[in-house]
């Protein structure tokens, strides 16, 4: 109790800065508008939910929202009358959930004060809380647990480094863990680390990653093909996906190497955060590159060097139009730890990534072992490997097929997840 009180005091002290960062207006970032009140527990009631209480799924932002979609669709397929409310913290995450239409209702996640969470629970009255990945807020978990609402963590992962950090502050971890009913872990190693920190084995299951259960819709393939026609079917096209500050310069340096062998090549550049769209466009122009922005619907000409994807939620479409994917978030030390490599793998695209991929170590290692992915350490290596791959369609095809095989061999996590959820949610709270 003392630890949580101290945490709440620290959160109250830091909350003005946290809220400033959340609400600060940034270019191309969706506005919260009057819905900011939802962060404080002033949550509008749901539409008619029928006889069943809603399941509450929390996905903090864009990546988690996309990962949650297969689970959401599977729950609705098995239980069409089940109401689902999805919370996100960010407005970009909300934008992703809005694409599900009437399948779910969206609300913003209350901030981690007990009174905010109680306001949300009083209005929504969820039967269970499902958390995508390890977005674990102490006051939220305690308040939900006290309301006798089961809490299940999906896609739970715990790296060796994070486990060591938690072990140094075991009472803090214990404060969180006591409020978790079940953890659906990515791998046996994750479950073992949670067990070493004190989670009872009966509260741990290994289901694999629902991200492997990605489904590539035929309509998306057609859209990608149409985009490729606009970009140029005969020219080499590669994509730098989810770049962070400090990586765009490296990507453009690699592009200079690629252009020496493939002067007609086109780079699809996808910044991770919308507030960076304008600055990345300016960076391209400052280096003398002809840059076309997707939102402006400009024609892509032979002289165009960079196609700037200044949109959100279109990564699969954009990757489908490219020959090779460079997955970023992995070239700036240990700040980010990489991004999910499964989307290009499912699309049968060869993958290059940087050396910092600790958040997706297992996926990356599986793809590398299969020959579907290569690790590059700097802009020079990126440029050299891209030049070689863009000259070798047969090797691109081989790597792409190997990536597809890895994805197929790991699928089934959604079915395993639903099987455990049905058991966990079959109690008196349902």
What are 346's two structure tokens? Answer: 């499912």
Give dist(CA 240, CA 271) in Å, integer: 8
Q: Residues with catalytic annotation?
A: 64
Give dist(CA 113, CA 302) in Å, integer: 55
């Amino acid at each position: 109790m003392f630890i949580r009180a101290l945490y709440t005091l620290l959160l109250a002290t830091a909350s003005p800065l946290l809220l400033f960062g959340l609400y600060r207006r940034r270019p191309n970032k969706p506005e919260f508008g009057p819905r900011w009140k939802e962060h404080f527990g002033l949550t509008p009631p749901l539409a008619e939910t029928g006889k069943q209480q809603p399941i509450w799924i929390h996905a903090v932002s864009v990546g988690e929202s996309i990962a949650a979609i297969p689970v959401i669709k599977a729950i609705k397929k098995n239980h069409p009358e089940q109401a689902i409310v999805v919370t996100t913290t960010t407005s970009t995450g909300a934008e992703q959930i809005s694409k599900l239409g009437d399948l779910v209702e969206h609300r913003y996640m209350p901030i981690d004060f007990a009174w905010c969470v109680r306001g949300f629970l009083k209005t929504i009255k969820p039967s269970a809380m499902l958390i995508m990945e390890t977005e674990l807020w102490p006051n939220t978990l305690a308040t939900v647990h006290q309301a006798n609402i089961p809490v299940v963590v999906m896609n739970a992962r715990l790296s060796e480094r994070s486990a060591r950090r938690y072990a140094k502050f075991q009472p803090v971890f214990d404060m969180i863990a006591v409020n978790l009913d079940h953890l659906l872990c990515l791998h046996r190693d994750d479950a073992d680390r949670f067990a070493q920190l004190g989670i009872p084995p009966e509260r741990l299951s290994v289901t694999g990653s629902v991200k492997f259960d990605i489904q590539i819709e035929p309509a998306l393939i057609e859209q990608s093909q149409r985009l490729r026609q606009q970009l140029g079917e005969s020219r080499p096209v590669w994509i730098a996906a989810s770049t962070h500050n400090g990586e765009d310069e490296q990507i453009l340096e690699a592009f200079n190497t690629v252009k020496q062998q493939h002067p007609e090549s086109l780079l699809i550049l996808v910044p991770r955060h919308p507030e960076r769209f304008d600055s990345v466009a300016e960076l391209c122009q400052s280096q003398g590159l002809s840059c076309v922005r997707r939102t402006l619907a400009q024609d892509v000409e032979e002289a165009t060097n960079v196609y700037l994807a200044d949109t959100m939620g279109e990564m699969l479409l954009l990757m489908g139009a490219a020959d090779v994917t460079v997955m970023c978030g992995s070239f700036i030390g240990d700040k980010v730890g990489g991004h999910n490599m499964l989307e290009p793998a499912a699309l049968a695209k060869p993958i290059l990534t940087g050396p910092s991929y600790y958040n997706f170590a297992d996926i990356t290692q599986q793809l590398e072992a299969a020959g579907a992915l290569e690790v590059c350490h700097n802009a020079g290596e990126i440029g050299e490997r891209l030049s070689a791959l863009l000259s070798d369609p047969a090797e691109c095809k081989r790597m792409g097929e190997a990536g597809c095989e890895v994805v197929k061999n790991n699928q089934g996590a959604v079915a395993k997840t639903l099987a455990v959820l049905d058991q966990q949610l079959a109690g008196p709270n349902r």
